[in-house]
Chain A
């Protein structure tokens, strides 16, 4: 797998409160997973053989039953429909299912010196 930078956008709530839907993350494709860090992973297809989308998860540990495999978890464990290594049919992931290492989040609004209000139009704030 070629190593290279990429940008992903988060959809869904399973990584709250760390990440929120719409967050953009810079990732390093092909980089080895690091325990405790976030990763872009390919979860196995579900019981009906339907492929799951690329997902963002936290790599929490090596699989105690197979040290070559990685355990990935959602941060928002109370969320309905949470799907991670604790979920029936998923379990730990092989190294090649971990596609990228998440490096950092791109700030929602870059507040540059002199700019009054990021990208928002004047008076657009609802609050």
Chain B
């Protein structure tokens, strides 16, 4: 058929971010996207754009939570929690910052910065466990 006449090119509708590996970079990219979306909404009066942007911000916030939960439940093991007793609290605070009282529910760039800072703290511990 047509595909025999024309050369077929593969086009990606796949995740182009790091996937299939444990890495706080995934949560960070989504959190940075959220921060950028908050800035765009602040600069824009178009109600359609704002509605769309806010919807995307909520979805990306859910993705942040998912990425963090995967690290929390699948990557980090009991010995890590013994060595870093603050980890549980860090994950709780970070996912809360991506939730209804954080970037999902609010349009506050400060919340996005707090979320990024928490992800950095988790990342620092993650890197220590990788190096160990």
Interface residues of chain A, those whose CB is within 8 Å of chain B, are 5-16, 19, 21, 24-26, 40, 43, 46-47, 52-56, 60-61, 64-65, 74, 76-83, 86-89, 91, 106, 110
Interface residues of chain B, those whose CB is within 8 Å of chain A, are 1-3, 6-19, 26, 29-30, 32-33, 35-37, 40, 43-44, 46, 49, 52-53, 55-56, 59-60, 62-63, 66-67
With contact pairs A80-B66, A86-B56, A106-B1 given, residues A14 and B15 touching in the complex (Cβ less than 8 Å):
yes
A21 partner residues in chain B, CB cutoff 8 A: 13
Residue among B1, B3, B16, B29 having the largest count of chain A Cβ atoms under 10 Å: B16
Determine if B15 and A52 form an interchain contact, defined as CB atoms under 8 angstroms apart: no
Determine if A86 and B33 form an interchain contact, defined as CB atoms under 8 angstroms apart: yes
Determine if B29 and A64 form an interchain contact, defined as CB atoms under 8 angstroms apart: no
CA gap between A42 and B14 in the complex, in Å: 14
With contact pairs A24-B8, A65-B43, A86-B56 given, residues A14 and B26 touching in the complex (Cβ less than 8 Å):
no
CA gap between A40 and B67 in the complex, in Å: 28
A64 partner residues in chain B, CB cutoff 8 A: 40, 43-44, 46, 49
Residue among A10, A15, A78, A81 having the largest count of chain B Cβ atoms under 10 Å: A81
CA gap between A9 and B59 in the complex, in Å: 27
Determine if B9 and A12 form an interchain contact, defined as CB atoms under 8 angstroms apart: no
B36 partner residues in chain A, CB cutoff 8 A: 86, 88, 91
A76 partner residues in chain B, CB cutoff 8 A: 13
Query: Can you show 16 pairs from A to B with CB atoms below 8 A apart?
Result: A7-B6, A8-B10, A9-B11, A52-B16, A54-B10, A54-B12, A55-B11, A55-B16, A76-B13, A78-B59, A80-B63, A80-B67, A81-B16, A82-B15, A83-B15, A106-B1
Interchain residue pairs A-B with the least CB separation, the first 9: A81-B15, A12-B14, A88-B32, A12-B13, A83-B16, A53-B12, A15-B13, A14-B13, A88-B33
Contact of A86 among B11, B18, B37 (CB under 8 A): B37
With contact pairs A12-B15, A77-B56 given, residues A54 and B49 touching in the complex (Cβ less than 8 Å):
no
CA gap between A40 and B26 in the complex, in Å: 25
CA gap between A40 and B12 in the complex, in Å: 9
